[in-house]
Amino acid sequence: MIFRSLMTAAITVACYLSMILPSAHARVEVIDDTGVVVVLEQHAQRIVSLSPHITENLFAAGLGDRIVATVAHADYPEPAKDLPRVGGYNSLNLEALIQLQADLIITWGSGISYESKAKLDALGIPIYVSEPKTLEDIQENIRDFVKLGGLAEQEVSVLYTLDRVLAEFPRRKATATVFYQIWNDPIQTLNGLHIVNDVFSRCGLYNVFAEAPSVAPTLNVESIIAANPDLIVASGLGNERPAWLARWTHYRSINAVKNNALYALDPDLMQRPTPRLLEGLAQICTWSSQLHESNPDAHSPLQ
Q: Last residue of some domain: 116, 134, 165?
A: 165
Same domain membership, residue 188 and residue 161: no
Same domain membership, residue 187 and residue 154: no
Q: What is the pLDDT of residues 10-29, one digit of tens each?
A: 334 334 444 444 555 689 99
Determine the structural domain holding residue 248 and report its residue range. 172-294
Number of folded domains in the chain?
Answer: 2
Q: Last residue of some domain: 121, 137, 165?
A: 165
Q: Which of 156-160, 209-213, 292-296 has the lowest mean pLDDT?
A: 292-296
Q: Is 5 part of any domain? A: no
Per-residue model confidence (pLDDT) at position 238 = 65
What is the residue-averaged pLDDT of the chain? 90
Distance between CA 238 and CA 234 in Å, rounded? 11
Same domain membership, residue 180 and residue 142: no
Same domain membership, residue 38 and residue 121: yes
Q: Last residue of some domain: 99, 134, 165?
A: 165
DSSP string, 161-203: HHHHHHHHS------EEEEEEEEETTEEE--TTSTHHHHHHHT
Could you tell me the CATH number of the domain that includes residue 201?
3.40.50.1980
Of 23, 30, 26, 71, nearest to 47 by C-alpha is: 71
* pTM (2 d.p.): 0.87
Provide, rounded to the nearest whole percent, the portion of the chain with pLDDT above 70: 87
Same domain membership, residue 147 and residue 31: yes
Same domain membership, residue 150 and residue 30: yes
